[in-house]
Amino acid sequence: MTVAVPTLALERRLLNEFDLVIALDEVGRGALAGPVAVGAAMMDASGARRRVPEGLRDSKLVTEKRRPDVAVRASAWVQASGVGWATSTEIDEVGIMRALGLAASRAVQSIADQGAVLTNALVLLDGNYDYLSSVHPAALQVRPVIKADRDCASVSAASVIAKVARDTYMAEIHEGHPTYQWDRNKGYASAEHRQAIRALGLSPHHRSSWAIADAPTLF
């Protein structure tokens, strides 16, 4: 099977019109436990002339063993990067889509905190729905693009950065709740995770508003 290789074709076209492209991608949306995370990767016209790092792909297409190295090289390649988070409690309180918006807004703010001027920036958002604009306090130009994590190198960078950050967090909180095996399933609905929920009930890290007991197995 041929694996799609992301390019900078779209980013380079957009940077003829905008000063910055801030690429966003989320991880953890479908998990039963843990936060949702949105990675951000910023690129300007000079950065878009640099060669895409070897092995950079959508995080789902990079093996778990290789992701940390790819994430480090992706962070060094873009002009700025960051991760925004929304907790399981926030997901329960406001729903997953608004929580995604909160995490995305925090990711964009992390880029601004590094000195980026967002006046003429475009946010390139993976997917077909803009979950950011209704949450972010300032007006932003947002363009959702289907399969951007597969096709656009800056979004692939954001994807890998977010995935490694969230996986690392889930491995850390696994230490306090080892029966759920979050170091392996990262909070998703594996058979072992659902069995542990049946045996122990929900932890403080679970999304308690979800119908977790009946959730389908995702791998």
Give pLDDT tens digits along the chain (219 positions). 456 789 999 999 999 999 999 999 999 999 999 999 999 999 999 999 999 988 887 678 777 888 999 999 999 999 999 999 999 999 999 999 999 999 999 999 999 999 999 999 999 999 999 999 999 988 999 999 999 999 999 999 999 999 999 999 999 999 999 999 999 999 999 999 999 999 999 999 999 998 675 544 443
Partner residues linked to 7 by β-bridges? 152
Give the CA count within 13 Å in the CB-facing half-sphere of 123: 31
Give the CA count within 13 Å in the CB-facing half-sphere of 84: 24
pLDDT (0 to 100) of residue 213? 58
pLDDT (0 to 100) of residue 175? 95
Question: Which CATH code, of 3.40.640.10, 3.30.420.10, 3.40.50.2300, 3.30.920.30, is assigned to 9-171?
Answer: 3.30.420.10
Residues in the chain: 219
pLDDT (0 to 100) of residue 55? 82
pLDDT (0 to 100) of residue 59? 74
**Distance (Å, rounded) from C-alpha 202 to C-alpha 181?**
13
Neighbours of 160 (CB within 10 A): 34
pLDDT (0 to 100) of residue 216? 45
- Residues 161 and 74 sit within 8 Å (Cβ to Cβ): yes
**Distance (Å, rounded) from C-alpha 189 to C-alpha 116?**
38
List the 36-43 sheet strands across, edge first: 80-86, 36-43, 20-27, 121-126, 141-145
Please give the structure tokens belonging to residue 158. 């954001």
**Distance (Å, rounded) from C-alpha 190 to C-alpha 43?**
36
Strands 20-27 and 121-126, bridge-based pairing: parallel
3-class secondary-structure state, position 213: helix
pLDDT (0 to 100) of residue 127? 93
